[in-house]
Structure 1
């Protein structure tokens, strides 16, 4: 079976999606001989986020595999030249990347701005996918959360949903992780 070039993984907060994605990346690197790359989009803006970033870093460091970590919170399409054709790349996560792009500039959330942000994210991800061997993209599943009567939250969720749909359409495989259990939603499972 051919190695998928784009794998999309979503799940709720603390669902186990990042651990699943990391294990999948390690397995792919072992099977293909590719270099492991962790494309981290998080920004340590508060204590909880600093702790989450530190935990992810410790988990990768404690493993037997050697990861190259690239921290990029904006404009991910600008780093495509950092990857080689045999690289296994894990992008964690689209939700944080969207937050960063939306709030990096003081701009009205009108349709042209939102479309530009969406296009920048999707285009950047596809460019990275085309550069490496496999790109695993992680994102949060926020669509089961209660609706909040807040226009910005509604716009954000709508935009994230559009990004997810485009990425899943382009993906060879898509997983939903719930309670640590990955559920294959698109594509053939790896044997």
Structure 2
């Protein structure tokens, strides 16, 4: 498993796509791209469409963020490479699913993290057992100030712990800064 982290617009996606193309070319394999974003407004729809245009046409795309461990288990026999883009977006969507219409200031964040943990563990288990090369993209959120609002602070904590789990299991970890790839593990 390869983990690629970095800030927003740092070049993470470009690096993931380049590595996926290289890995697939060496074994003449297919690539599955798991896109976790939701088109919640017109601007996000345009971003998603722009991302699609950067990927090779022969790649298969799965759009979704739930039960990705199952998706990887079901698809890994058919694809040489799986790109999961992106963990922090997946977490955001899962958190909003769990929270529903409840006020974020009064959520039980400990219960939320207990609910998320088995899903992350299942994803990691699926990645470890996969025949495919798994490339996971995530955002590095811990380089800024501590957010003012409880939801943002808890999201930062949750995403940081998830990123640590991913990095621990990954064979390689890349940090992308201003378009420059710095390999920090493997």
Find the partner of 2:89 among 93, 96, 112.
96
Give the drift of 1:111: 1.4
Give the SS at the match of 1:120. Answer: helix
Instruction: List gaps (5 residues or longer) in structure 2.
Output: none
Q: Normalising to structure 2: TM-score of the pair?
A: 0.89
Unaligned residue ranges in structure 1 (runs of 5+)? 1-5
Task: Quote the residue 2:37 is aligned against.
Answer: 42
Quote how far apart the aligned CAs of 1:86 are.
5.2
Q: Is the 8 A contact 1:39 1:89 kept in 2?
A: yes
Secondary structure of the residue aligned to 1:104 is: helix
Aligned to 1:23: 18
* Contact persistence 2:39–2:48 (CA under 8 A): yes
Q: Return the TM-score normalized by structure 1.
A: 0.87
Per-residue CA deviation, residues 99-149 of structure 1 (Å, 9 max, x unaligned), is 011101337333133122133024224314422321000011111122222
Q: Does 1:83 align with 2:76?
A: yes
Q: Is the 8 A contact 1:98 1:121 kept in 2?
A: no
Instruction: State the SS of the aligned residue for 2:116.
Output: helix
TM-superposed CA distance for 1:46, in Å, is 1.7
The aligned length equals 179
Verify the 8 A CA contact 1:148 1:154 in the aligned structure 2.
yes
Q: 1:178 maps to what in 2?
A: 177
Residue equivalent to 2:150: 151
SS at match of 1:45: coil
Asked if structure 1 preserves the Cα contact closer than 8 Å seen for 2:70 and 2:126, the reply is no
> 1:58-91 CA deviation, whole Å, 9 max, x = no partner?
111xx4x620111112221232212217520000
CA distance in 1, matches of 2:130, 2:5: 23
Measured in 2, the distance between the counterparts of 1:110 and 1:96 equals 18
| Contact 1:122–1:163, Cα closer than 8 Å, also in 2 | no
Tell whether the 8 Å contact from 1:76 to 1:125 is kept in structure 2 after alignment: no
Q: CA deviation at 1:55?
A: 0.9
Cα RMSD between the aligned structures? 1.7
* Contact 2:5–2:175 (8 Å) recurs in 1: yes
- List, as ranges, runs of 4+ consecutive aligned residues in structure 1 with deviation greater than 4 Å: none
Query: What is the alpha-carbon distance in structure 2 between the residues aligned to residue 58 and residue 126 of structure 1?
Result: 31
Q: Distance in 2 between matches of 1:162 and 1:177?
A: 19
1:70 to 62, 70, 88: 62
